[in-house]
Amino acid sequence: MKWLTQKEIKARAKKSKQEAIKVSWEHWEQLATATITELIVARINRRFDLDEKYCGLCQRHRTKKYVCVDCPLDDANNTCCEEYLWADGSFQVFWEYRLHSDGFDKFVIWQKAARKMANKLKHLLKKQ
């Protein structure tokens, strides 16, 4: 898989709000569709991470003080993708998998959580 780079994500996110959502969706789509081998190799080679460097929305909406302003993921319960994933426990699974890569069971949970995030972003794309 050809993973999106930090540089590419940042450049595309700066173009427009729509492009920031689109590149964020593409990133999560990659995470949701990657095989276990692709994910492990990408993690080892630092081709993705779970921080603002790989989030188009963070690149566009996060301030220097690490506060997201006017992020389209902002709703009544969450202000950004990280809070959205923490709300249902998905982010904890991501961090555990990122650090340990232990087992197919956690990989399946990872894929489901990544799919959930990709679907939320796809819904945002359709609303724009």
> pLDDT: is 4 or 67 the higher one?
4
pLDDT at position 104 is 66
pLDDT given at position 122: 92
CA gap 120, 42 in Å, rounded: 23
DSSP 8-state code for residue 79 = S
pLDDT of residue 101: 54
| Domain ranges within the chain, ordered by starting residue | 6-127
What pLDDT does residue 99 have? 47
Task: Give the model confidence (pLDDT) of 24-53 as tens digits.
Answer: 999 999 989 999 888 878 878 888 777 778
Q: Which pLDDT does position 61 carry in this prediction?
A: 86
Q: Mind listing the pLDDT tens digit for each residue in 70-96?
A: 888 776 555 566 655 655 556 666 666
- What is the amino acid identity at position 55? C
* CA-based nearest residue to 61, from 114, 111, 21: 21
